[in-house]
Structure 1
Amino acid sequence: MLKKLAIPSLLLAIVSLGFTINHSDLADDWGFFGHKRINRLSIFTLPPSLFGFYKKNVEYITEHAVDPDKRRYATVHEGVRHYIDLDHWGEYPYDNVPRTFSDAVRKYLKLSHISPAGDTTQMDLIYSQDKPDLLEVKYRRKTFNISQFQFDKFYKTKIFNNQAYYEGPWTFPVSELQNNWKMDFQVPEGSLHFEDGFSEYGILPYNMLDYQNKLTAAFVAMNPESILRISADFGHYIGDAHVPLHTTSNYNGQLTNQLGIHAFWESRIPELLADKQWDFFVGQADYIEEPASYFWDIVLASNRLVDSVLSVEKRLSNEFPEDSQFCQDLRNGNPVRTQCADYTAAFDEAMGGMVEDRMCASILSIGSCWYTAWVDAGRPDLSELYLEGATQVEELEIEPSVTPFRAHEN
């Protein structure tokens, strides 16, 4: 639930007039235009008590909007933070997906037995409503029970804590777990191997909640470096959540012979139309009463638009002359093949302005999340808080050997 802020519209208009946006500093990065623009415009939604701090650091917030994408190849854990393949788990509203990250990872843990000789046997963990105190485990043709309480204790201490989670997969000797779990069946000697079977399909809504809490903590600590870094990153993830193709396994049309539709929707349309046709005066930031539900509402709303995005593009590609769909354009002085301007405008119109709507929703959402973190931190006074040299863009060291779970568009 959202609660409206009381900010006079006149004040917001005056602030906007005195704060111009230079398109030239956004145009050089292919695919990054939208993220930078969204972060920058989110500042306009803030009340005066927050606006001053963010305005002083506007270049940092703008340039660092793309840092999460730069990190995708620096750590294997980054890519999954940008999306969630909801359709992998069934159908809308995906009630079989737990709304808390810990429960989701626990529910979809993969378990296998490894014998001393190295032979691996898949085991199934089954949660039964008929036996809430017990967890059923299938091993070959046998089914046995373990204590839910003991398994939860093991899971929270050995697997899902801040340190251990990023060290998975996890392997333990059978002898170590046999007695602790109070198993009613003797598992053959060897080891039990656990793998996260959930995260590879995306953790976007959980990641946004994590960043909401991180930003609140940064405001409490009055740490300008952390506030700005987290705010910029947070804005990127919120922007991703508003993109329908960040919520489906068919994220780039690869399953429907529509390769490239992701960048077409998320990058090409905004680059051609945002400055010329769109109105980004989205109003005032709101206080978010229940962030966890709010983030899930965002990704569910995006997911409801997936079929429309795909079907409209498919129809249009069949109706438009093939030689009018792609044109040569210059990017940093180099020719590139991309969607023609008329074809792009037709796609945007056929979707009923969906991209503009989602971009505007992103702007308001980011401002609301920043504002909520500040309120939850006790509304600290930021008037004297400023990060010197904050406009320098972070350079990340990339290890080419590190790859994300899947290819990822901006």
Structure 2
Amino acid sequence: MQPLLSIDFLRFGLESSLMLSLLGLLLVASGFLALIGINIFELLIGRRLRVPLPGPLVAEANLPHVLIQIPVFNEAEMVAEALQAAAALQWPRDRLHIQLLDDSTDETSTIAQRIVLNLRAQGTDVLHLRRADRSGYKAGALAAGMARCDAPYVAIFDVDFRPPSNWLRAVVPMLIADKKAGFVQSRCEFSNYATNWLTRIQGLMMDAHYTMEQATRYRAGWLFQFNGTAGLWRREAIEAAGGWSADSLCEDLDLTVRARVAGWHGVFTMEPVVPGLVPEKVRHWRVQQRRWSTGFVQVTRKLMKQIWTSDCSFGLKLSSSFLILIQAFYPCAAVATASILAGVLLRGGDATDYVPLLDGFAAFVAFIAIGLTLVPYLVLRRGPLHQYLLTLILLPPMMIYISLSNAPAILKSSFGGTETWKRTPKSRALPAGASTDDSFGDL
């Protein structure tokens, strides 16, 4: 009798954990459903809810000083092109200031120093900033750079991103026009999108993130995040929010939330687009996703109470909570997967009891996945429809994989544990037509 009671108790626990995890997934999914609904509403009324204010015409002599910051850590392959792209920005030379925030421990610094000297000889103001240690990681480097320049506008680019030469001409007027805009976030493209199936999956997700999530959140007046790159900040907003903080691995989201609580909002622009890179190997993607997931949990622990005790409207508090809780998807998916597998084993391999629940949930997830990814895929002309369908089919198993991989770190962070900031290794974009579809061997 005792073993039967133990099995029944275990089965009850598994089913309870499954239901709770599915409820968590539904909570996350409801935020995405709202975004899809907003897009449908805009289609019905025939207009966008919000667009960036038209920038004023500013005389060349009155253009403001702008600081370009490029954080780098052991990325020798890309540092030269990053500096050259920053120097090519169309802006008065006496008001364009570039900082390479170099915490490298390899040959990156030697390569960078040579490029910096060449650019200085050509009349570009470039500072190669080296710190004694990596304290605060990226946030620490950005703060150290700001202390060396008082420019009222600060642009940030990760070393693998290449702003087009007209980027500053397009985005600076957006902040000048909107006095309460703390930052402008540009949509990002990814030069290595078609390298292999992993990059196609990421491309599908990133297109949905920028085109459906970020853009829609902005148009609805919701909180949307600065992505850590391809953005321009107003120094006044950074200072009003308390400056850069290394309390979390997502210093970009941390600053975004604090700036919003301090009364500043962001502006999202689809054009001009800024190209960058996504990880080409699964192990590198896993590092990136773990850092993001852990950072979101840390920001939630730090700022959720501050959000709900602020003077922000109820709607803004709710949308902000949806944003910073979005990474709850991963532990919920991991728990749901583990509970189902354990439940099937307890039933001697019989999954019949789970089929109706899984069928309904799969249909719900498919609706959201298609609703978020199909429109960007078509609008951005990413390729034939059959390729979209193949990529979409690969998305769920990869999300389950990353959920199981990241769950321990997320749970550790939820209970106050800390993680070390780890750079996401990336390769330079391959020539057109090149292929490295063997990247899944890293699984």
TM-score tier, shorter chain, comes to under 0.3
**Larger RCO of the pair (alpha carbons < 8 Å, separation 6+):** 1
Greater helix content: 2
| TM-score normalised by structure 2 residue count | 0.25
TM-score (norm 1): 0.26
